[in-house]
Amino acid sequence: MAAQAKGRPVVGVDLGGTKILTGVVADGKTILSRAKRPTPAREGAEAISRAIVESVDEAIASAGLTREAIAGVGIGSPGPLDSDTGVILFSSNLSVENFPIAPELAKTLDKPVFLWNDVRVGGYGEYRLGAGVGHRNILCAFVGTGVGGCLIIDGKIVNGSTGNAGEIGHVVVKAGGPSCNCGNRGCLEAYSSRTAIARRIVKAVRKGHSTILASKVDKKSGRLKSGDLAAAVAANDPVALKEVQRSAHYLGIGLGGLVNVFGPEIVVIGGGVTEALGQPFVDLITTSLRKIVLVDPNQTIKIVPASLGDDAGVLGAALLAKEKIAHLAKEG
């Protein structure tokens, strides 16, 4: 059984609030095929399960395979979660509560299905196959709709006693700061996420500040595409520049504090906002971070952009599933 699991492809699923990315992964590193679906986040658990199954089947078919050829499925999902039971305890992004996603999909697909936090699997992908290769102690931050993180110490993901450690987006960087979706105030996510940037741009527009983003940001939902933000920065739009600099400043503060605590070898920064803004955004974060860090006087700790893009979550989920299947096979 162990030999069979080792040689068979595994499916990795990156379940997000807006899209589901799925890939069939061979040898723990090669994506044979991909599939993409919008996440029916407002339609509930049943619709989400159905969309994932459709995405998995499409990816398997695109690889020229059948379900029988697959060893199992790994899923990265927003949390908090109970990974041991495969339950999403709660997710505002998915509008679900106590959703036993892994057991339900395992029954439908007739395959073992495993569940982990989406950002943690992305960080693991970068550790094993991306910007973190060659390092054992890594701090990953992903900046997109929110801000998520993954800490890897001695090659192991730090999950903490509850299995949900690593929520760097909810480290408070300014007491009494703006409200965060988690219910607290002054969180890193409330300053540095794309959502926070868009919220401040809307506020600037209402105050009469001129910006080319006035027609790009949704005044009601606060949605803003990372590409539009990047185009505005490239055009030296003053509002966009100010808000990106503010985002990077607080990211540097939050990440710098974590570097002081954990002393990683490398800090990997990814996510949609980082991908769109590129190295200049990472440089802004680095400048702010270096002012905070005390444990690296010779600046040996690297701060680099992530390298896997959207594939990080798919690869990380597949890798973790492959390892879990091999471990269970040895125990059996």
Average pLDDT over every residue of 21-42:
94
pLDDT band at 5 (very low <50, low <70, confident <90, very high): very low
Q: How far apart are CA 267 and CA 139, in angstroms?
A: 5
In terms of domains, do 113 and 164 share one? no
Q: How far apart are CA 170 and CA 182, in angstroms?
A: 8
Domain membership of residue 16 (yes or no) is yes
Question: Which runs of consecutive H residues, i.e. helices, occur in the chain?
Answer: 2-7, 45-62, 101-109, 118-129, 188-192, 194-206, 226-234, 238-262, 272-277, 279-292, 311-331
Average pLDDT over every residue of 257-274:
96
Domain membership of residue 127 (yes or no) is no
In terms of domains, do 259 and 287 share one? yes
Do residues 31 and 24 lie in contact, with contact meaning Cβ atoms separated by under 8 Å?
A: yes
Of all residues in the chain, the percent with pLDDT exceeding 90 is 83
Average pLDDT over every residue of 228-236:
97
Instruction: Tell me the CA distances in angstroms from 283 to 196, 265, 280, 292, one per residue in order.
Output: 20, 17, 5, 15
The pLDDT of residue 158 is above 60: yes
In terms of domains, do 10 and 40 share one? yes
Domain membership of residue 15 (yes or no) is yes
Pairing type for strands 73-77 and 113-117 reads: parallel
pLDDT given for residue 1 in this prediction:
32
pLDDT given for residue 3 in this prediction:
34
Instruction: For residue range 49-76, list pLDDT tens digits in order.
Output: 999 999 999 999 999 999 999 999 999 9
The pLDDT of residue 92 is above 80: no
In terms of domains, do 206 and 74 share one? no
Residues 320, 98, 13, 64, Cα dihedral to 10°:
110
CATH number, domain at 91? 3.30.420.40
Answering whether pTM is above 0.85, one says yes
In terms of domains, do 116 and 206 share one? no
The pLDDT of residue 2 is above 60: no
User: 185-188 — which CB contacts under 8 Å span 24+ positions?
Assistant: 188/147, 188/250, 188/251, 188/253, 188/254
Domain membership of residue 130 (yes or no) is no
CA angle 141/212/148 to nearest 5° reads 10
Segment of 156-160, 206-210, 251-255 carrying the highest mean pLDDT: 251-255
Report helix angle 118-129 to 311-331, nearest 10.
90
Average pLDDT over every residue of 82-103:
91
CA angle 272/27/25 to nearest 5° reads 45
Domain membership of residue 68 (yes or no) is yes
The pLDDT of residue 316 is above 80: yes
In terms of domains, do 174 and 273 share one? yes
In terms of domains, do 92 and 139 share one? no
Handedness of CA 182, 43, 148, 88 (dihedral sign): positive
Instruction: For residue range 114-147, list pLDDT tens digits in order.
Output: 999 999 999 999 999 999 999 999 999 999 888 9
In terms of domains, do 42 and 99 share one? yes
In terms of domains, do 27 and 104 share one? yes
Cβ neighbour number for residue 300 with a 10 Å cutoff: 8
pLDDT given for residue 332 in this prediction:
65
In terms of domains, do 324 and 264 share one? no
- What is the domain count for the chain? 2
Do residues 268 and 140 lie in contact, with contact meaning Cβ atoms separated by under 8 Å?
A: yes
The pLDDT of residue 6 is above 90: no
Average pLDDT over every residue of 144-164:
91
Domain membership of residue 128 (yes or no) is no
Ordered strands of the 87-91 beta sheet: 81-82, 87-91, 96-99
Instruction: For residue range 299-313, list pLDDT tens digits in order.
Output: 999 999 999 998 999
Ordered strands of the 19-26 beta sheet: 30-38, 19-26, 10-15, 73-77, 113-117
Domain membership of residue 281 (yes or no) is yes
In terms of domains, do 140 and 270 share one? yes
Q: How far apart are CA 82 and CA 152, in angstroms?
A: 19
Half-sphere exposure of 135 (CA within 13 A, CB side): 26
Half-sphere exposure of 99 (CA within 13 A, CB side): 23
Range of the structural domain that residue 62 is part of: 2-122+311-331
Do residues 213 and 239 lie in contact, with contact meaning Cβ atoms separated by under 8 Å?
A: yes
Average pLDDT over every residue of 35-46:
92
Domain membership of residue 229 (yes or no) is yes
DSSP 3-state helix, strand, coil percentages of the chain (rounded to 5)? 45, 20, 35
In terms of domains, do 281 and 327 share one? no
